[in-house]
A and B are shown apart, each in its own frame.
Chain A
Amino acid sequence: MEKILVGLKRVVDYNVRVRVKSDGSDVETDGVKMSINPFDEIALEEALRIKERGEASEVIVISVGTVDAQQQLRTGLAMGADRAILVESNSPVDPLGLARTFKSIIDRDDIDLVILGKQAIDDDNSQTAQMLSAIWGRPQATFASKFDVAGNKATVTREVDAGLEVIEIDLPAVVSTDLRMNEPRYVKLPDIMKARKKPLELIAISDLGIDQGPEIKSLMFEPPLERERGVMVDDVAGLVAALKEKGLA
């Protein structure tokens, strides 16, 4: 296997308490800490480990978004990716548009394996990997916690509702990562310096001629219904009484 493509999405950091804007047009993202989607960091870590085992020769990180996403791509380069691609779009791109964008890079750069996060923690869609493998006509190994390459095949363990599912796939393929696949490495200062010299290519999404498909419009955002704080009991006897009162014990 030669080349691995990894998607890195710039998202609101998972520690931020996200709030809806008062006019309901969106959530508040001004001045909020932004990071690489945690699942994508795991995807990159996995790609780097495959390369370090000598099973691939190049790891390419890609992001579709505004110029600000260069920051996340630079972090990806500092983690160890060889080069980066930013497909610039000032409006949000739905998963089908993303999948078609990735597909055009797969064709251009001859990619052998794509690793994406199983979901982005902003829109929580969990779609892009599946869509990409569909239009590429290749296997999908979603929600993966273990990935072993053997020649032109791979064995993948997937976290499913019933437990752990093991499948075998032919390569090329698309993998989407679950949280327990690995623990991403920390970036060291010298790597950040080195990353500045690595190539970061800019492409305008319009230059790729992507049909983004029928748009799903977000009409409005609202805060969720909050649960109210209930009662505190003093001891186990109080808890048992409270449960009995509700008919739950």
Chain B
Amino acid sequence: MSKVLVIAEHDGAILNPSTAKTVACAASIDGASVDVAVFAATAGPIASEAAKLASIARVVTYERSENEYALAAIIAPQIVAVAGEYTHIFGPSTTFGKDLMPRVAALLGVNQISDIMSVESSHTFKRPVYAGSAIATVEAPMDAILVATVRIASYSAVTDNNSALIESGDPSVADIPTHTRFIEVKSGATDRPDLQTAVKVVSGGRALASAENFDIIYRLADKLGAGVGASRAAVDAGYVPNEMQVGQTGKIIAPDLYMAIGISGAIQHLTGIKDAGTIVAINKDEEAPIFEVADIGLVADLFTAIPELTEALD
């Protein structure tokens, strides 16, 4: 019988939607019993949110002041201390989980499986490699604890109609390291929908040519109620902040609608949008590779087409 511990992602106040998707993956293991662990300074409101997630048995909170910020060096030894009860430990394949879970695995003396996209059996999974150019089926040994991250774009969140038990766990670990100290997070947070959970996303590429020109992307996005993303080229050029990058080394997303505007469609970008419902491409080059994967394509100059489209959507 599999007993899975899912590590909740949160910002100190709010449960991140990646948790509900990681739970969906864990619950797809046959007969698995799933617990969610909340490591926080104050876990209360986060735990209440987590307790609503369908398919989980209980939420365990581990509160201590050092857990105020999600630093891997601080959280990992606490996870290791409670790992003994479990056959699997899962985290989301977000920057939070990617930072944390390999540290947990190494402390437990096991290798880790990254980016689970489907569960084949309790110890066999599929995951993308080579920027999604190949899908590998991998198998972990039965006789060791299994640590993994979940490719959240491959899963839909479980529903939130549960009322699981909330227990408070014993967070006592003798020496929590002090060698890593949080200073700040700078984010260009807006009130637009979050890229990773948005139902619609409009992305701009190098073709936008400046930060000012990106305005036409924002205006279209606001008309559609969409989140805004970008290619690496647009981020590198400083048109938009790093958290907007979509792709192999940015965010992997699965919106119902993805609009790629002035983006060529490099493999590293495409791997971030493979699971999108409908892909729309607008590019002035009819040979652009993005058209090979687009459901709807328009060959046009974006500087005339996008304002026209924004207007037409009234």
Q: Which residues from chain A sit less than 8 Å from chain B, CB to CB?
A: 12, 14, 17-20, 27, 94-96, 99, 118-119, 121-128, 130-135, 137-140, 142-143, 145, 155, 158-170, 173, 178-180, 213-224, 227, 229-240, 242-243, 246, 248-249
Contact = CB atoms under 8 A, between A and B. Distances in A.
Contact of B298 (A20, A137, A178, A235): A235
B312 to A, nearest CB: 5
B105 A127 contact: yes
Interface string B100-139: 1111111101111111000000001000111111111111
Contacts of A242: 296
A86 to B, nearest CB: 22
B274 interface: yes
A221 B180 contact: no
Contacts of B248: 121, 124
Contacts of B274: 224, 227
Given A18-B134, A121-B130, A217-B139, A239 B309 contact: yes
B257 A248 contact: yes
A131 B73 CA distance: 11
B243 A213 contact: no
B31 interface: no
Interface of A is mostly: mixed
The 5 tightest CB contacts between A and B, nearest first, are: A163-B187, A230-B295, A131-B106, A130-B102, A134-B106
B260 to A, nearest CB: 12
Contacts of B100: 130
Contact of B98 (A126, A139, A155, A163): A126
A87 B113 CA distance: 24
Contacts of B113: 216
Interface stretch (B81-89, B165-173, B211-219, B234-242): B234-242
Given A27-B134, A140-B72, A229-B292, A125 B114 contact: yes
Highest count of chain A CB atoms <10 Å: which of B94, B179, B236: B179
A161 B73 contact: no
Interface in B69-84: 71-73, 76
Interface in B41-58: none
Contacts of B131: 18, 121, 124
A12 B130 contact: yes
B106 A243 contact: no
Given A233-B297, A237-B312, A243-B296, A96 B111 contact: yes
Chain B contact patch, size range? 35 or more
B105 A124 contact: no
Contacts of B292: 229
A138 B76 CA distance: 12
A248 B180 contact: no
Given A213-B109, A230-B297, A170 B249 contact: no
A134 B132 CA distance: 28
A214 B128 contact: no
B209 interface: no
B102 A224 contact: no
Interface string B183-200: 111111100000010001
Interface in B145-159: none
Contacts of B30: none
Nearest to B295: A230
A239 B136 contact: no
A142 B99 contact: yes
Given A130-B99, A170-B180, 14 more contacts: A123-B129, A126-B98, A142-B72, A161-B94, A161-B243, A166-B183, A218-B136, A219-B139, A224-B134, A232-B296, A236-B298, A239-B280, A243-B280, A248-B257
A229 B132 contact: no
